[in-house]
Amino acid sequence: GAGVSQTPSNKVTEKGKYVELRCDPISGHTALYWYRQSLGQGPEFLIYFQGTGAADDSGLPNDRFFAVRPEGSVSTLKIQRTERGDSAVYLCASSLRPSSYEQYFGPGTRLTVT
């Protein structure tokens, strides 16, 4: 079946602009996670959704970052006033069971802030 999909695959934006990154989880997966992967590093946890609500947003670096999942399926990660340090690959994962270590990742969105 279809895996996790993310759009866009690449996003180039200017410093200070607003961006939205979209994640479509595997059908039937109730839990959704966002991670950020900087060059040469492993992914780092940002936020976890169980259903529509953010169950844990402790990994968001600051209040410029926000994510929603209004209908319990698709999620959008929103970054305001982007900075060059936000440049990274933003990965979305989903799991069948809530709070699961068995997470399946999408291809990521490569964000470049110029």
Partner 1 sequence: QKEVEQDPGPLSVPEGAIVSLNCTYSNSAFQYFMWYRQYSRKGPELLMYTYSSGNKEDGRFTAQVDKSSKYISLFIRDSQPSDSATYLCASCSNDYKLSFGAGTTVTVRA
Applying CB under 8 A, the residues found at the interface with partner 1 are 4, 6, 31, 33, 35, 40-45, 48, 56, 59, 91, 95, 99-108, 110
Q: Find residue 54's DSSP bridge partners.
A: 49
Give the separation between CA 94 and CA 73, rounded to whole angstroms: 10
Q: What is the nearest approach in angstroms of partner 1 to the Cβ of residue 110?
A: 8
Q: What is the nearest approach in angstroms of partner 1 to the Cβ of residue 95?
A: 7
Which H or E run includes 35? strand 31-37
* Nearest residue (CB) to partner 1, 66 versus 105: 105
* Nearest residue (CB) to partner 1, 82 versus 95: 95
Residue 49 · residue 55 · CB < 8 Å: yes
